[in-house]
Amino acid sequence: MRRGARVLRLERETPPAWWPRFRGGPRDARTVVVLGRWLGAGMAVCLVTGLISHLLQTPPGWLAPQLPTRPVWGYRVSQGLHVATGLALVPVLLAKLWSVYPRLFAWPPVRSVRHGLARASVAVLVAAALLEVVLGAVNIVGWYPWPFSFRRVHWALAWVLAGALLVHLAVVAPVVVAHWRRARAGDAGDAGEFAGERRSLLRGVGAAAATVTAVTAGQTFPPLRDLTLLAPRHPDHGPQGLPVNRTAAQAGLSEAELSPSVWRLTVTGPRGFTVSLAELRAMPQHTARLPIACVEGWSADAEWTGVRLAELLRRAGAAEGSPVRVVSLQQRGSFGVTEMPGPYAWDPLTLLALRLNGEVLSLDHGFPARVIAPNRPGVCQTKWVGRLEPAGPAGGEADR
Ligand code: HEM
Ligand SMILES: Nc1nc2c(c(=O)[nH]1)N[C@H]1C(S)=C(S)[C@@H](COP(=O)(O)O)O[C@H]1N2
Ligand SMILES: [Mo]
């Protein structure tokens, strides 16, 4: 009781003279709710598409044999949406923080244990949201200033963010419900007071988000390609009309070791074999139009020609439907080895590609041979392939 009385008395005191005070501006509950709605919708899109990206890249064992290879552009749309939505959220997040930051200085700072916990959860929410968005944006420009794995931290933060957001929504639910609909003339409260300013603010934030999208989305959405001013990649700038994320030189590969007189493809298995490039070219060639969809948000369609992976696996005596480990000649850095689940390995569209857009693959696109599969993240489309290792009949790791 006595504690309660003290807290109540504190509530009646005015803040000290140095305590910040804010007046006016469209920072009323209705503004905050509308911005929160946009932010929440965008975060939900990022969470779902991020989850898809995670599962396609590193599926749990039970899911790997079920992964869908159609639509061929599925990952392209999903990850394009992820990065486009994440970038559009930047102005919305800034506006939301601007609209609520005076509340950081509410008096008294803490009213009760419950109030203290609610405020602490907002601290987690704000920190996680800022970090998630900033890390993502820094990653897509190819800058890695931190020592940790972007992917692991971004993944863990996504769950922290989702949890903090749920707690936050529970706490603010009454305010959200009260201001979900626009106030009508004659309604009580302050909802109508800032209507004009609110409209200007929301229009400004909407215009900022639309502008960010317009100047970046062309990296994945061809109709906007001519507006691609701020995106790190232009979808058709690069050798053979396709961007390159890591060149052969950057991967530590020399022209000599990739030369057709030296290079051989080995496929392991009960009837394992080794072939030269000339022998691969003599096998039946197939052409497929499939996108490269980089996890970093750029993507482009291309026409690939080569040998069906399934045909190579079958010839080596691999069990139908079994997964395959794709091993690149690249020794340095990541993406040298991919585990390809069965559905991709045996899909008729999945190729060990030798040609791109009608020409022999350039060195930087993976000459002499690279993998291209439908509905797969770009990181899994291994270049400079040297070995294919299908899993044994039991499909277990022990067979490898
Ligand atoms: C609300 C904000 C966001 C959430 C909840 C979120 C969530 C996720 C999740 C769960 C993943 C999968 C991570 C994994 O594979 O383990 C992911 C991947 C990714 N996100 Fe976000 N993200 C957000 C914002 C952003 C932003 C703003 C960008 C960049 C502009 C971004 C760029 C990326 C990239 C490049 C990946 C692929 C990582 C990789 O596999 O290498 N994200 N995101
Ligand atoms: N061996 C190897 N394969 C690789 C990579 C790599 O760094 N090494 N990068 C991957 C990534 S991140 C992408 S997006 C695609 C890009 O293919 P491209 O350079 O032909 O456009 O290749 C993938 N294959
Ligand atoms: Mo990529």
Give the pLDDT confidence score for residue 190 in this predicted structure: 52
Task: List 289's β-bridge partners, or say none.
Answer: 303
Mean pLDDT value across residues 280-296: 97
Asked whether the predicted pLDDT for residue 178 surpasses 70, the reply is yes
- The band of 369, judged by pLDDT with boundaries at 50, 70 and 90, is very high
Instruction: Say how far apart CA 162 and CA 229 lie, in whole Å.
Output: 32
Instruction: Say how far apart CA 275 and CA 307 lie, in whole Å.
Output: 12
Q: Coil, strand or helix: which one is 53?
A: helix
Q: What is the model's pTM? A: 0.91
Strands 385-390 and 265-267: parallel
Cis omega (within 30 of 0) on the bond before 145?
no
Task: List 324's β-bridge partners, or say none.
Answer: 340, 390
Q: Which of 377, 376, 360, 379 is nearest to 368 (CA)?
A: 360
Ligand 2: residue whose CA is nearest its atom 15? 378
Number of other CB atoms surrounding residue 41 within 10 Å: 13
Q: Which of 30-44, 78-92, 99-113, 306-320 has the lowest mean pLDDT?
A: 99-113
Amino acid letter, residue 76: R
Q: Ligand 3 center to residue 206 CA distance, Å?
A: 30
Mean pLDDT value across residues 215-238: 90
Ligand positioned closest to the Cα atom of 296: 1
Give the pLDDT confidence score for residue 398 in this predicted structure: 40
- The band of 41, judged by pLDDT with boundaries at 50, 70 and 90, is very high
Amino acid letter, residue 327: V
For 336-350, what is each residue's pLDDT tens digit? 999 999 999 999 999
User: To the nearest whole number, what is the mean pLDDT of the chain?
Assistant: 91
Residues 25/197, Cβ–Cβ less than 8 Å: yes
Asked whether the predicted pLDDT for residue 144 surpasses 90, the reply is no
Among 53, 150, 237, 245, which residue has the most ligand 2 atoms within 8 Å of its CB, making it the best to mutate?
A: 245
Give the pLDDT confidence score for residue 197 in this predicted structure: 84
